[in-house]
Amino acid sequence: MQTTARHGRLFSALGRRICALILVLCAAQVGCRSGGQLASEGPLNLEELGLPTIEMPAEGLPAVKLPTTLPSPREQVNSALETTKVQLASLTHAKQPTNDADWVDELKVLPYATTSGDKITIHNIRDCEFFTYRDSLVNHIDRTYKLDDVQTVDFIMVPFNNNRAIAHTMLSFGFKNGEYLGASAEVRLEKGEQYDAALGLFGQFELTYVLATERDLIPVRTTYRECDVYVYRSTATPRQSQLLFVDVLKRVNSLKEKPEFYDTLSNNCTTNIVRHINAISPGLVPHDYRVLFPGFADRLAYDLKLIDTSAPFETVRQRSRITDLATRYQKSPDFSARIRSGETLR
């Protein structure tokens, strides 16, 4: 979707204000540190985790009020951003978020999860075969797991070619049988739309979670979008990975029942991952400029010891780059194992 002249006039009038707010937000975020630790104690019970059953009631986490008498700088910035969005929305007649639109083919079908006893069934896992950046053979599958099948979670980062500070981030859960399930929070594009970061500030796109095979999510980025992809093994234990998995599925079910707008700053791929982590380990990921600029999110994860720190960061980063392997083995039935093999291509 191209920015119209009307949008252009509105953005030029609000541009300086938005830039100032972003700078203040960055300043408010720099230097914060985390006091949280990964949750690791107590038995894991599927019912206690609150994953919706077939009826799937969509319930959000309760809000937590900070014991302060005055708004923090971050709260003041967020309030100013919301005021600006409301003002722009009133001028552009912004729509309400919806799940009913003419979506692009690969984003038409929403995933969801149901439980039966100790088993979780993931419905509508995407397993597309891409032929170009946008052309694909769309396919969806269902898979059923026990919760204790979840053993690992990997952090995937895809830096933008034209801006090192910006990246798309995803999670991928590993199972006992060697399968992987990717989870990617994305803009849900309608036919004829194109992603625009500026429009993403003002409720012009819906948010969706794509649950997909790695052969769907990764090769389209390495081969057709010509991006580098980095796969970092997290330090999460199996139990922590399971908790994170359930929290992601709760979010997936919630969006199916109650759509939300994507927001370039506050409701995007990286901020959703941060919320999932902090939901199971409150305060573990602090306010940090590297959340706002996710091209540096891998370094943040390294500094917080959420990924391997057995070597210097640049060494870890280089050996986590799977671009060439993903391109070579994109059609391989054991794609996920191949990209993690550490094989050196010549």
pLDDT at residue number 156: 99
346 in any annotated domain: no
Radius of gyration of the chain (CA): 20
Indicate the pLDDT class of residue 85, thresholds 50, 70 and 90: low
65 in any annotated domain: no
49 in any annotated domain: no
pLDDT at residue number 171: 99
For the residues 121-139, what does the mean pLDDT come to?
87
pLDDT at residue number 70: 59
Q: What is the tens place of the pLDDT at every residue in 283-335?
A: 999 999 999 999 999 999 999 999 999 999 999 999 999 999 999 999 899 99
Q: What is the tens place of the pLDDT at every residue in 174-222?
A: 999 999 999 999 999 999 999 999 999 999 999 999 999 999 999 999 9
44 in any annotated domain: no
Summary mean pLDDT of the chain: 83
Residue 155: both structure tokens together: 């952090």
292 in any annotated domain: yes
288 in any annotated domain: yes
Q: Read out DSSP for 256-276?
A: HHS--B-BTTTBSHHHHHHHH
* Alpha helix positions (H), 182-322: 214-217, 219, 238-257, 269-280, 289-292, 297-303, 313-320
**Of the candidate ranges 33-37, 191-195, 339-343, the one whose mean pLDDT is the lowest:** 33-37
Residue 185: both structure tokens together: 């929070």
Higher-confidence residue: 165 or 43? 165
Q: Burial, 336: exposed, middle or buried (Cβ in 10 Å; 0-12, 13-18, 19+)?
A: buried
Q: What is the tens place of the pLDDT at every residue in 9-26?
A: 344 435 544 554 444 344
Task: Provide the domain count of the chain.
Answer: 1
259 in any annotated domain: yes
345 in any annotated domain: no
Which residue range is the domain that position 147 belongs to? 5-39+73-339
